[in-house]
């Protein structure tokens, strides 16, 4: 069996409310982009696509945008509950299709987010949560999120990490908007990498070593720049002017920065880039890599990235046991699934 550990959809009741939002130009733009991917809402089509891959199930979450971007805090909390109850129903109704779901939370209100995560874990059997790399452009190592990290560390649940900048993040300070969707193709990988670095240097991972982050897209830039992450960051602050020392003062770490990056879990969603996946597996190790496709956001709008990712995994120089770990065993162990 293959367990696809990072797949997106829109549960029916949530989708109805989402597509009715008309007070935000950014949301209207995302509605347009989302409508072009029918497998997000059409489960019959989705199941037809999944049939190609035999003994195959998905761990699902809600597609972008982040809950925090849907409007006022009260609306966002309501939408998170609607999403979670809808995903729980899909998992219960289709256990042969969906192995579990990662809950939506809106971190513009941390207390509510903690309550929603607890409700999803205890009443809806969520196997984790999905968060984004920043909340309304603010960093996730802000002290106000500490109670959330403490809660998730104690829960033992997985934390899926998804990027979320948009076209208003300009490519250069002299411009107002990103061009050529650079914000997505390259900016999202920077988002993920910067998130990981801030979790390391702010001491979030040092203080809560039991946190289990599953970083999308194979760990983004991190496995591809081990020299800069290793020997480069070993010199952190050594060439920094005194007037800028505050920029490099973080939480007192007990290990090399490089070692903390090895503590993340990553998925195989590299869009069919076999060399990139090979590098991610080499950096993190097969026991920290989970099979995932990012379905249905491929040119075929569903099966394309699943097929390409399976081919990539098959081409890796792994033993059958290591390949089985990536396809199935790591997800069962880390999400706490009941192995079929």
Give me the phi and psi of 287, to 5 degrees please: -80, -5
Q: Is the pLDDT of residue 183 over 70?
A: yes
Give me the phi and psi of 209, to 5 degrees please: -65, -15
Q: Is the pLDDT of residue 12 over 70?
A: yes
Handedness of CA 142, 215, 166, 28 (dihedral sign): negative
Handedness of CA 15, 17, 20, 23 (dihedral sign): negative
Q: Is the pLDDT of residue 32 over 90?
A: no
Bridge-based pairing state of the strands 128-132 and 289-290: unpaired
| Per-residue pLDDT band at 35 (split at 50, 70, 90) | confident
pLDDT tens for each residue of 100-114: 999 999 999 999 999
pLDDT tens for each residue of 243-299: 999 999 999 999 999 999 999 999 999 999 999 999 999 999 999 999 999 999 999
Q: Is the pLDDT of residue 339 over 80?
A: no
Distances (CA, A) of 94 to 4, 122, 130, 303: 15, 20, 21, 19
Pair 282, 292: CB distance under 8 Å:
no
Q: Both tokens of residue 70?
A: 């849907």
Residue environment code for 250-280, b if the CB has 16+ CB neighbours within 10 A, otherwise e: beebeeebbebbebbbbbbbbbbbbebbbbb
pLDDT tens for each residue of 300-320: 999 999 999 999 999 999 999
Bridge-based pairing state of the strands 134-135 and 138-139: antiparallel
- The pLDDT score that the predictor gives to residue 230 is 97
Q: Is the pLDDT of residue 6 over 70?
A: yes
Please give the share of the chain, as a percent, with pLDDT higher than 70: 99
The domain limits of the chain are 2-234+249-335
Q: Is the pLDDT of residue 169 over 80?
A: yes
pTM for the complete prediction? 0.96
- List 103's β-bridge partners, or say none: 129
pLDDT tens for each residue of 121-154: 999 999 999 999 999 999 999 999 999 999 999 9
Mean pLDDT of 164-191: 96
| Per-residue pLDDT band at 206 (split at 50, 70, 90) | very high
Instruction: Say which DSSP state 106 is in.
Output: -
Measure the CA–CA gap between 141 and 293, rounded to whole angstroms: 28
| Per-residue pLDDT band at 336 (split at 50, 70, 90) | very high
> What CATH number belongs to 2-234+249-335?
3.20.20.140
Pair 218, 266: CB distance under 8 Å:
yes
Q: Both tokens of residue 130?
A: 């999905």
Mean pLDDT of 56-67: 96
Pair 134, 164: CB distance under 8 Å:
yes
- The pLDDT score that the predictor gives to residue 189 is 98
> Tokens 């090895």 map to which residue?
262
| Per-residue pLDDT band at 340 (split at 50, 70, 90) | low
User: Average model confidence (pLDDT) for the chain?
Assistant: 96
Pair 83, 11: CB distance under 8 Å:
yes
Distances (CA, A) of 172 to 11, 92, 176, 177, 187: 37, 47, 8, 9, 12
> Tokens 């196997």 map to which residue?
127
């Amino acid at each position: 069996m293959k367990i696809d550990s990072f797949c997106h959809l829109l549960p029916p009741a949530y989708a109805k409310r989402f597509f009715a939002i008309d007070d935000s130009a950014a949301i209207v733009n995302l509605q347009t982009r989302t409508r072009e991917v029918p497998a997000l809402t059409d489960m019959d089509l989705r199941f037809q696509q999944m049939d190609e891959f035999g003994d195959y199930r998905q761990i699902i979450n809600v597609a972008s945008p982040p809950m925090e971007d849907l409007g006022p805090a009260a609306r966002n909390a309501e939408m998170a509950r609607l999403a979670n109850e809808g995903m729980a129903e899909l998992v219960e109704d289709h256990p042969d299709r969906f192995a579990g779901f990662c809950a939506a939370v809106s971190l513009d209100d941390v207390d509510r987010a903690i309550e929603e995560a607890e409700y999803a874990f205890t009443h809806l059997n969520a196997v984790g949560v999905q968060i984004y790399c920043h909340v309304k452009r603010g960093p996730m190592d802000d002290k106000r999120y500490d109670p959330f990290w403490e809660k998730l560390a104690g829960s033992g649940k997985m934390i899926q990490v998804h990027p979320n900048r948009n076209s208003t993040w300009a490519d250069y300070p002299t411009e107002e908007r990103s061009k050529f969707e650079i914000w997505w193709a390259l900016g999202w990988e920077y988002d993920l990498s910067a998130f990981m670095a801030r979790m390391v240097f702010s001491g979030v991972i040092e203080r809560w070593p039991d946190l289990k982050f599953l970083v999308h897209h194979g760990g983004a830039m991190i496995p591809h720049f081990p020299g800069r992450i290793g020997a480069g960051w070993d010199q952190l602050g050594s060439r920094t002017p005194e007037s800028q020392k505050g920029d490099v003062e973080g939480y007192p770490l007990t290990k090399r920065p490089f070692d903390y990056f090895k503590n993340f879990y990553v998925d195989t969603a590299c869009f069919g880039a076999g060399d990139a996946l090979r590098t991610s597996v080499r950096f993190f190790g097969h026991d920290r890599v989970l099979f995932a496709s990012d379905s249905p956001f491929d040119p075929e709008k569903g099966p394309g990235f699943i097929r390409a990712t399976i081919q990539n995994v098959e081409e890796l120089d792994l033993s059958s046991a290591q390949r089985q770990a990536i396809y199935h065993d790591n997800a069962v162990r880390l999400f706490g699934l009941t192995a079929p």
